[in-house]
Structure 1
Amino acid sequence: MSSAPLALPERRRPAPLIASALFLSETIEGLDDGAGFLDGLSPAEIARVRAAGRSVTLAAGETVFTQGRPHEGIFLIEEGRVRVYYSGPSGRQVTLAYWTPGHFIGGPSIYGGGCHQWSGVAIEPVRVTVLSSATLRSLIRQMPDFALCLIAALEAKGRCYTAMAQMLGTRSVIERLAQLLLNLGDLYGRPENGTILIRRRITHDEIAALVGSTRQWVTMMLKRFQREGILSVDHTHIRLTRPGRLHEIVQTEG
């Protein structure tokens, strides 16, 4: 099996969002904290923030910001999804998160200076509002509520990366894979005859970058899970046939 798309879902929560942010976590709770970055502002204030920025449209595969390049402010996602990832010296990448509309990425850098610690790339057509460091300073001075929104969103980002660090530091790679599959089922799955059908496409490479492993290992483990009847995979979907076994792996594997 190569890195051909597996399959992942449309969400099944009540009153679902258009899309959920995704990162390595022990639960789906809190994945979208920070998506309502500007919700604390009035419609007029939100319009003012957007008017102060610069709208940029990117095609799938285009870079939003690059690890090692100087900070320019923040990027507020208006449409589409952005993958944020870290590249090691060997070139190996670890996905930090997939961010969705309402989240900001790329900082913030309030006073300029410093470099991006990771990169962001559009994984589908994306539109962002760019708020430069100078613009951020001006908005913070003029709109105290905007400063509070920024602080709240930073707190959410901190919880995100803490959750990811805890998973990477305390969970084995097979536990991380099992937990990711369960989270994908909770986010995008549909119950069907005792199984969970996941209908959103994802590749072995994408899974590997999320759980901190290699594509080869992910392919091997998914084949093992299929042999054991834990899941089935075809070109259009993943079906969790024994989600209870995945829960057991999360709780007992070391």
Structure 2
Amino acid sequence: MMHLGGNGSQLSAALAAGSDNVVPLKALNDRPFNKFLSPLNDLETRLVTSLGRQDTFKKGELVFRQGMLHSGLHIIKKGGVRTFFVSPGGREITLAYWVSGDFVGTPEVFGRGKHLWSGMATDNTEAYYLTGEQLQELAVQMPKFALVLIDVLVAKGKCFSRLIHTLGTKNACARLAHTLLLMCSPDDKPDSSGMRSSSLTHDQLASTIGVSRQWVSASLREFESEGLLKLEKKKITIVDYEGLKQRSF
């Protein structure tokens, strides 16, 4: 593992001459992982990941906690992370679900301030951790990486803007339908049968749209009776995508 020094000289030398001390390219060919790093060339991508510490988190383990000092970001390699906010009164709301290729730990980037919300692994998760100092030096020494960080923050801003619009302008049924459509699959593509599935629990859906678990369960049964979806033990399968889309307005 390569660590970035205080003046970025190691990074400059590696970019100028290439480096053998980097993650093999074949380990980084997964396109979902590269969705934000795609502007970088092969060497730059491998260098960024090699600078980072490789962390693993078990399902349900906190990646970072609301209120703790910010020190850097994680780039998810495998698995997923749910970000959520807990109010002073103890009420919890899910902000988003992040998957392979996403950066988690924003909006702070360079290791300043405190985390505004928490992040928890939704599955057994692997991620690269870059400190605020490393991120800042990468941004200075590698302009394309600075653009990557901007793209990440733009995507986060759009995500939270959609959340605000959904909570502020849609009724609870429309919010539930909207959330199911967003979460039905990571790449938003149907399976071979033309159906789309989500493994979100009723508790997770309730936390995301700001209602009780009991209300979610009753509403899902109503959607099922209308032929919009099928409820299974650990999966919700969308049967009528267009019909559910109409319920999201």
* TM-score, normalization by structure 1: 0.76
Q: Distance in 2 between matches of 1:229 and 1:108?
A: 40
Structure 1, 232-241 or 203-212: larger mean CA deviation: 232-241
Residue in 2 aligned with 1:27? none
1:134/1:220 CA distance change after superposition, 3 Å: same
One-letter identity of the residue aligned with 1:67: Q
Query: Any residues of structure 2 matched to 1:166-205 within 5 Å, and which?
Result: 166-184=165-183, 187=188, 189-190=190-191, 197-205=195-203
In structure 1, stretches of 5+ residues that fail to align are 1-17, 21-33
CA contact (8 A) 1:74 1:108 kept: no
CA contact (8 A) 2:197 2:238 kept: no
Report deviation, 1:127: 1.1
- Residue aligned with 2:200, SS: coil
| Amino-acid identity (%) | 36
Residue in 2 aligned with 1:249? 247
Higher relative contact order (CA 8 A, sep 6+): 1
Q: Distance in 2 between matches of 1:242 and 1:201?
A: 17
One-letter identity of the residue aligned with 2:201: T
CA contact (8 A) 1:82 1:122 kept: yes
Residue in 1 aligned with 2:11? none
Q: Distance in 1 between matches of 2:34 and 2:31?
A: 10
Report deviation, 1:240: 4.0
Tell me how large the CA RMSD over aligned residues is: 2.5
Report deviation, 1:243: 4.7
Residue in 2 aligned with 1:116? 115
* TM-score, normalization by structure 2: 0.77
Query: Any residues of structure 2 matched to 1:203-214 within 5 Å, and which?
Result: 203-214=201-212
Residue in 2 aligned with 1:38? 37
One-letter identity of the residue aligned with 2:179: L
CA contact (8 A) 1:19 1:100 kept: no
Q: Distance in 2 between matches of 1:63 and 1:211?
A: 21
1:245/1:214 CA distance change after superposition, 3 Å: same
Report deviation, 1:123: 1.1
- Residue aligned with 2:248, SS: helix
Residue in 2 aligned with 1:9? none
Residue in 2 aligned with 1:233? 231
Q: Distance in 2 between matches of 1:130 and 1:233?
A: 37
Aligned residues: 218
1:156/1:213 CA distance change after superposition, 3 Å: same
